[in-house]
Chains A and B, each alone.
Chain A
Amino acid sequence: MSPQRRLALGCLMAAVVAMAGTGPARAEPPPGAASCSGCHGPAGSEGPVPSLLGRPAAETAAAMAAFRTGQREATVMDRIARGFTDDETRAIADWLADQGDQP
């Protein structure tokens, strides 16, 4: 390929990428995490269900562990927490902690 042609191709590709901006916008939610926002609203939302966004990961992970063992009383979170392993819970808690500044 000639240098001119390579340059032309490079420009086209750059233009296409810049125009479309294809690619993940933010860290993708790990398995299970996207379901949380069905009940847990954005930061600052009112109501009986707390927001989890921006909450320290260790806190969320500890709460899930306590729900799973029954140490902490719950209406539905005990039933949901039992469906996730420690690793899965940790990944969800980390992701939720990182979403603090997201709308």
Chain B
Amino acid sequence: MTRPAPSPTGSLTRGTSRRTALGGTLAAGALLGLGAPAALGQAAAQVVVIGGGFAGATCARSLKRADPGLVVTLVEPAERYLACPFSNLVLAGLRELDEQAFGYAGIEAAGVTIARQPAVAVDPERRRVRLGDGTELDYLHLVVAPGVDLRFDAIPGYDEAAAERMPHAWKAGPQTELLRRQLEAMPDGGQVVMAVPANPFRCPPGPYERASLIAHYLKTHKPRAKLIILDAKDQFSKQRLFEQGWAEIYGGLIEWVPLSFGGQVTEVDPGTSTLVTEFGSHQADVANVIPPQRAGAIAALAGVADATGWCPIDPVTFESTLVPGIHVIGDAAIGGAMPKSAFSANAQAKACATAIAHLVREEAPPTPKLINTCYSLVAPDYGISIAGVYAPKDGLLAEVEGAGGVSPLEAAASVRQAEAAYAEAWFRTATDEVFG
């Protein structure tokens, strides 16, 4: 494989000079009698990717792999990415947050330019992204992968200040460490209360893995403590497997309160650490409030989010159905049957990169087929999984019938152990592939 010579447009430049350079090339083409300079446009094809998580980082890297001639810029202000998968182990004191951190050096070495700035505006007409420092990036294709924003307008009383008292810990980072410290400081016999939102939200089985690993911590260190899950829905991912594991391992430590039994949290009071439901109120020694979510803010600014707060896409190209030239992948996208998981984000990113490489060459993109596999830990050595295979159908990503499903309810301890080991192997392999 030959590395292309660095293109003059490959470095991060002020939009003005960039546009001048490109304009010069086009003018030369016009002088030579090239009518529509499609070939020249392709030669300098610029793809901008916003967001350096599992979706965006994978996509930037996959774009260079699919076509080394593409000029790819990854817009990500953070120096390092803190991964959410496995961060529930950090809460339980079984892992350190630093083990969740990944840098961008490998992606840079793969030929991707990193713009360490937030994206603050998108002009879809001019196909231009503006960054926090005023830099403007032109694009032929834009990939928006901002993950989720937590909605601080959804539960009365739960705003950003409240999150400092009642952490969400739904983005790995200081919130994860805050919740861990609160759990460690809680006296034995205390009560942990979790609030879990209705679908859709990031990582559907995540809250239940979290409950499991908090229960593991409590059982080990504070055996008289209790954990209540207040849930805004009546069913959840891998439910029978979780409930079976909870009964087996934690006895009555975890109490799950579904929507129809008053699980929906209607208000919180961070001052008194109280969670109010339609049926009453719960006093928490430690409160973990996971609020409803929406696509990251730049999605709405770019016009690719709909009234639900999420982004409708074409299932073949991941191009927004609202704004041409902008593709949305990962948690922010409406993935049809695909869950909002890191594995899905990674798979979607690769399919999106393939589609963009075809579109740049003005070829029809192939119909993708995608896989998702999500592991959850019911205990450190007790793993369960859900898997699915997906293909475009009726404008959405639909599950391929006959495939997929969850781990069997009847399984030997060795199978649960094997799945816990596979979970760890997945995390290592996936993060290595994306960031290594």
Q: Which residues of A contact B (CB under 8 A)?
A: 1, 5, 8-9, 12-13, 16-17, 19-26, 28-29, 31-32, 34-41, 45, 47-49, 75-76, 79-84, 88
Contact = CB atoms under 8 A, between A and B. Distances in A.
Nearest to B5: A19
Interface in B43-57: 43-45
Given A16-B43, A82-B402, A35 B350 contact: yes
B14 interface: no
Interface of B: 1-2, 4-5, 7, 28-29, 32-34, 39-40, 42-45, 62, 65-70, 343, 346-347, 350-351, 354, 357, 360-361, 366-371, 373, 385, 387-389, 391, 400, 402-405, 407, 415, 418-419, 421-422, 425-426, 428-430, 432-433
Nearest to A16: B43
B337 to A, nearest CB: 12
Contacts of B425: 39, 47-49
Contacts of A25: 1, 65-68
A84 B7 CA distance: 40
A42 to B, nearest CB: 8
Given A35-B370, A45-B429, A75 B67 contact: no
A80 B39 CA distance: 40
B354 A9 contact: no
B225 to A, nearest CB: 32
A62 B203 CA distance: 33
A46 to B, nearest CB: 9
A76 B367 CA distance: 24
B371 A83 contact: yes
Which 5 residue pairs across A and B have the least CB separation, nearest first?
A: A83-B389, A83-B403, A22-B69, A35-B371, A34-B350
Given A9-B32, A37-B433, A83 B400 contact: yes
A34 B254 CA distance: 39
Given A34-B354, A40-B429, A47-B425, A22 B385 contact: no
B422 A49 contact: yes
A75 B415 contact: yes
B346 A38 contact: yes
Contact of B33 (A5, A39, A40): A5
A41 B433 contact: yes
A19 B32 contact: no
B406 to A, nearest CB: 8
Contacts of B343: 38
A4 to B, nearest CB: 11
B347 A34 contact: yes
A16 B40 contact: yes
A16 B360 CA distance: 15
B69 A21 contact: yes
Contacts of B391: 31
Specify which of B28, B367, B428 lies most central, judged by the most chain A CB atoms within 10 Å of its CB. B428
Given A16-B39, A19-B5, A21-B68, A35 B347 contact: yes
